[in-house]
Amino acid sequence: MAAHANAARDRADPGDGTSGGRVGGLLLAAVGPILAMLAALALVAVTGLSQRGSVPEALEPWIFGYFIGRYPLFAFALVYGLGHLARAAAEPGPASVPRRVLFGLAGAAALLAAGLYPTFGGLILRGAFATGGMAFLTHQPLWLAFGLGAAVGALLFGSVLGLFAVAANRPLRPRLRRIGFGALAFLALWFGAILIGLAGDLGVGPWPRRAMRPEEAALAAGLLIAAALPHTALATLRRHRRGV
C-alpha cells in the first residue's frame, strides 16, 4: 500500500509542475495583447516620436491629422487588436495551420485597413465621430452623443476582431452561446472606447504634437490597461468554456 502511494505521488509531482507551468503560459498568453500594447507605448515614449521630429513621408498620414491628435490612444488599441488576433490564431482550436495563418493575416490586414485607411482613424474613428457628431447636431445631450459614437467605434472594431477570430480558429457551426459572449465583448469594447475617447480630458497630454512625457506615458498605460482588461478577461474566460 505504501509503495503504491509513493508511486502515485511520484507520478503526481511532475504533473503538478507541468500544471503550474501551463497556468503560467496561459496567463502570459492571456495578457499578451496588453503587453504588446504597452510595449508600443513604451517605444513611443522612449524614442520621443512626435510631429516635431523628422517623420518619413510615408508615415505622415498616420502621425499628422485630426483624429490622432484627438484620439491618440487609438494607435495602441490597434496594437491590442493585432495581439488579440494573433492570440486567437495561435491558441488551441479546431483549425488547421493554413487556416490559422490565412485568416490571422487577413484579420490583421482588415483591422489595419479599418483603422488607418485612408489616414489615421480609418473607418472606425470616422464612423464613431460622424455618429456622435450627428447625434449632437440633432440636439442630443453631449454625453449621449459621445456614448453613441463610442458604441459605433466599438462595434466596428469588435466586428473585425470577432469575425476573423472565428474564421481563424473557431468552430464554424453557429452556437447560441456565442451571441451572449459577443454581446459581452461589445460591452467590454464599448467601455474601452469610452476611456480612450476621454484620454485627453483625463490628462494624457497633446501627443503626438510633442513627445510624450513620462507622467503622460504612465497615465496612458493605466488607461490602456483599464480599457483592455474587461475584454481580455472575457476572452480568457471564453477559452476555458468548452464548446463556446
In terms of Cα–Cα distance, which of 190, 180, 188, 167 is closest to 241?
180
Could you read off the pLDDT of 69-85 as tens digits, one per residue? Answer: 889 999 999 999 999 99
Give phi and psi for 207, each to the nearest 5: -55, 135
CA–CA separation, 126 vs 223, rounded Å? 22
Mean pLDDT by 10 residues, the chain (244 residues): 42 45 61 94 91 75 82 95 94 90 96 94 96 93 95 96 92 78 94 94 86 93 96 82 49
| DSSP per-residue string spanning 117-153 | SSSTTHHHHHHHHHHHHHHHHTT--HHHHHHHHHHHH
CA–CA separation, 227 vs 104, rounded Å? 23
Polymer length in residues for the chain: 244
Q: What percent of the chain has pLDDT over 70?
A: 86
pLDDT of residue 27: 66
Question: pTM to 2 decimals?
Answer: 0.86
In terms of Cα–Cα distance, which of 101, 52, 72, 77 is closest to 206?
72
Could you read off the pLDDT of 191-223 as tens digits, one per residue? Answer: 999 999 999 888 887 888 888 999 999 999 999
Q: Are 102 and 162 in contact (CB under 8 A)?
A: no
pLDDT of residue 8: 41
**171-174: long-range contacts, CB 8 A cutoff, minimum separation 24:** 171/94
